Amino acid sequence: MASRSGRDTGVKDNWKCIAICLAMSLANCQYGYDTATISGFQAMPGFLKVYGYPDKKAKIGWNIATTPQQLISSFLNIGTIIGVVLTHLWARRFGRKAAIWAASFISFVAAGLQIGTDQLVGLYFGRILIGVSNGFFITFANVYTAEASPAHLRGPIVSFFGIWVSIGSMLGAVANNASKDFPTKLAYRIPLASLYAIPFFLSVLVFFLPESPRWLLVQGRDEEARTALARLRGASFKGKEELLEEEFLEMQRGIMEEKELAGGNAFKDMFRGADLRRTLICFGVILSHSSSGIWLIIGYGTFFFQMAGVDKPFTATILKSLMGLLGVLLSIVLNYRTIGRRFSMLLGHGGSVVFMLGMGIAASISGSSKEAGKAIVACALCWFFVYNGFSGAVSWPIANEVVSSRLRVATIGMGTGINYVFAWLTSFTTPYFINSKELNWGAKVAYIWAASNAITFVYFYFMLPEMRGRSLEEIDELFQNKVPTRDFSKYHCVSAERAREQAVKNTEVAEEDAGDEKTAETEKREVV
C-alpha cells in the first residue's frame, strides 16, 4: 500500500470534516424514518379504516387488500428509480448541496400531499414523490461523504449512512408506536407530519457546508476546489501545509487522467475498459441491498411480525432498528481499526444466510405459535444486527469508492435504480407470500432470502477486492493497472508519491520566489 505518511491523521484532528459529513448524511435519516413509518401504518386500525377493510379473522379486526398493500410500498421504489435516473442529469450542472435542497423541497410537497389526502390515488402520488426525494438524498449525501472524507477515515465516515438510517427507522417506529392506538386518521398523520423536521434542519445545515472538492475539480473550478478541501481538512494539516497541497494535487492529477481516458458519454464509459469491472462490482454491492431481504423487513416489517404471530409487532420493529444501530456502531469501530471491507461484506451476507434460514425453519416447525414468534423475532433481530452492521454499513463506502470521480454519480445512480427495480419487485410480490388471504407463507418466505444471500456471498468472494485505506486516486490506479482481486491489499501505488514529489517542488519554488521577493525588497530599501 502506498505510503501517505503524515496524511493519515487521527479522528480528533479531523473532527471538522467528520462533523460536516455527519451533517450531510443526516439526509439518510429521512429515508429510514419514512420507510419505518409506512411499514407500520399497515398494522394501524386508524390507517386501515381509511385504506383497508374490516376482517374478523385479523387480530386487530382490520386488514388491507393485497393490491393497495403492494402499491403503497412499491410506488416508493418507483419514485426512487425516477429520482436516481435524474441524478446524473442534475450532477452535470449542479452540485451536491443544491441536490439536497431540491430533495428537501420535494419531500415537503410529498409529506403535505400524504397528510392532506384520504384517497389512494393521492397517497400513491405522495409515495412516488417521497421516493424521488429519497433517491436524491441517498445518492448525493453518500457521494458527498465519500468525496469529502480522507482516505483512512472514508469507511467509517460513509458508514454514517447506516447510523442515520437506523436512527430514522427507530424514530419512525417510536412515532408509530406512540400514535398507533388513535382510532382516527391522527394515527398515521402524526408520523407523516413529523417528516417535515429532517428536511428543514438539513436545508439549514447545508448552507454552512463546503461543496465537494472533487465535483468542483470535474467542473474545472480548481481554486474553489482548493478552498473547499482546506475547509474540510481544517487544522488536521496545521503546520504541514505541503500535505494539503499533496492531497489536492493527487485529486487534480487523478481527475485529469480520468478526463483523458473519457469517451465523452458517461453511460458508455461505464461499460468499457477498466470501468466495466468497476461498474460490475459497484452494481453487485448496491444490489446486495435487495438480495439481503431488507425490503421484506423495511416494507412489511410490522405487518410481517403480526402475520408471523408475534405478540407485540410494533415493539419488535423498534428493537429491530435498535439492533441495526448497534450493529453499525460496532462495524464502524472494527472497520476503522481491525477488519476490511471485503471481510465485512462476507460476514454480513454469511450471517444473513444463517438467520434467514432460522426464521424459515421456525415457521416450518411451529407455524404461528408463540414459540415460533419468539424464534422469528430473535432471528430477525440477529439478522438486522449482522446485515446492517457488516454489510449494509460498508456497502455505500465500497459502492462510492470503487467507481471513478467522473462517473460516480452516473454509476451510483444507475446501480441504485436497478436495485430499486428489484426492491419494487420484492415490495410488489411479498404480500402474495405473507398475506393470510393469499399464500400465507408468513416467515417461510425467509427461505427465498437465505438462498439469495448465499448467491451474493459467492459473488463477493470472487469479485470484491479489499480497498480499505486507499485514496480514491489510488483505487483509480489499481483498476487502470488491472490488478487482480487478491492482490489489491499488497499492490504498491505511486499516485500519492507523484503528488508528494510535485508538492515538494511547488513548495520549494514558492519558498524561492518568496526569498527573491524578500531580497529585492531589502535591496530596494538599501538604495533608498
Among 292-296, 389-393, 436-440, the range with the most confident prediction by mean pLDDT is 389-393
Query: Tell me, what CATH number does 271's domain have?
Result: 1.20.1250.20
Let me know if 204 is exposed, middle or buried by CB neighbors in 10 A (0-12, 13-18, 19+). exposed
Cβ density class 239-258: b for 16+ within 10 Å, e for less: eeebbbbbbbbbbbbbbebb
Higher pLDDT pick, 428 / 468? 468
Average pLDDT over residues 101-113: 93
| Amino acid type, 19 | A
The pLDDT assigned to 523 comes to: 59
And the C-alpha cell for 311? 405478540
Domain annotation covers residue 3: no
Q: How confident is the model at residue 3 (pLDDT cuts 50, 70, 90)?
A: very low
Structure-model confidence comparison of residues 100 and 258, the more confident one: 100
Whether 471 is in a domain gets the answer: yes
Identify any residues that bridge with 457 across adjacent strands, giving them in sequence order.
Answer: none
* CA distance readout (Å), 129 to 83, 102, 106, 138, 321: 9, 12, 7, 14, 25
Average pLDDT over residues 364-377: 74
Mean local confidence (pLDDT), 391-409: 85
Q: What is the pTM of this model?
A: 0.74
Higher pLDDT, 73 or 358: 358
pLDDT digits (tens, 9 = 90+) for 248-306: 888 888 888 777 766 667 778 888 888 899 999 999 999 998 888 887 766 555 655 66
- Exposure pattern of 55-89 as b/e (b: 16+ CB <10 Å)? eeebeeebbbeeebbbbbbbbbbbbbbbbbbbbbe
| Residue 66 near residue 79 (C-beta atoms within 8 A) | no
Give the three-class secondary structure for 62.
strand
Here the cell at position 370 is 408463540
Nearest to 353 by CA among 442, 296, 291: 291
Per-chain mean pLDDT for the chain: 82
User: Percentage of residues in the chain with pLDDT exceeding 90?
Assistant: 19
Judge whether 26 lies within some domain. Answer: yes
Domain count, the chain: 1
Q: What is the mean pLDDT of residues 63-91?
A: 81
pLDDT, position 47? 86
**Is 70 exceeded by the pLDDT of residue 202?**
yes
Q: Is pLDDT of 178 > 60?
A: yes
Longest dimension (CA), the chain: 104
pLDDT in the model for residue 174:
84
Burial string for 226-238 (b: 16+ CB within 10 Å, else e) reads: bebbeebbbebbe
Assess if residue 346 is contained within a domain.
Answer: yes
**469 inside domain:** yes
Query: Does a structural domain hold residue 376?
Result: yes
Count of helices and strands (H, E) across the chain = 24, 2
- Per the model's pLDDT, the better-predicted residue between 441 and 506 turns out to be 441
pLDDT band, very low/low/confident/very high, at 2 (cuts 50, 70, 90)? very low
Q: How far is CA 341 from CA 39, 330, 383, 469, in A?
A: 30, 14, 19, 10
- Domain range for 148 is 15-209+262-490
Measured CA to CA, the distance from residue 443 to residue 108 in angstroms comes to: 36
**Is the confidence at residue 1, as pLDDT, over 50?**
no
> Is residue 473 pLDDT above 90, yes or no?
no
371 to 374, 433, 439: CA distances (angstroms) = 5, 21, 22
The predicted model gives 187-197 an average pLDDT of: 88
Q: Which of 503, 505, 508, 507 is nearest to 246 (CA)?
A: 503
